[in-house]
Amino acid sequence: MIVGRVVGEVVCTRKFRTYDAAKLLQVQPLDLQKKDRGLPMTAIDLVDSGPGDEVLICLEGQSAVDAIGLGDNPVDAVILAVIDELKVADA
């Protein structure tokens, strides 16, 4: 899993049925110092996170599928939590 920041939303009227139940948010992956790391992706939002929120994202498909608990669906990224605080011991 990785940390990311919500930077937008993907709006699709025509989409796979599971996606009706949740928002599709654009998330920018971050490193532990909260700097951008890599390219944004789209994740299903299970925890009603909003723009600018720092979130925990599950990237591995099967666990993402299980996380949304709607049976087997074409999902490969899910927002599992909104992060209140991230403490990192300085190396």
Point out which residues bind other proteins (CB under 8 A). 6-16, 19, 24, 26, 39-44, 50-52, 61-62, 64-65, 72-77
Q: Among residues 23 and 81, whose Cβ is nearest to other proteins? A: 23
Nearest 5°: CA angle at 49, between 30 and 21? 120
User: Which amino acid is it at 46?
Assistant: L
Q: Is 34 left (phi over 0), alpha (psi -120 to 50) or beta?
A: left
Min separation Cβ 33 and other proteins, Å: 19
Min separation Cβ 49 and other proteins, Å: 11
Min separation Cβ 7 and other proteins, Å: 6
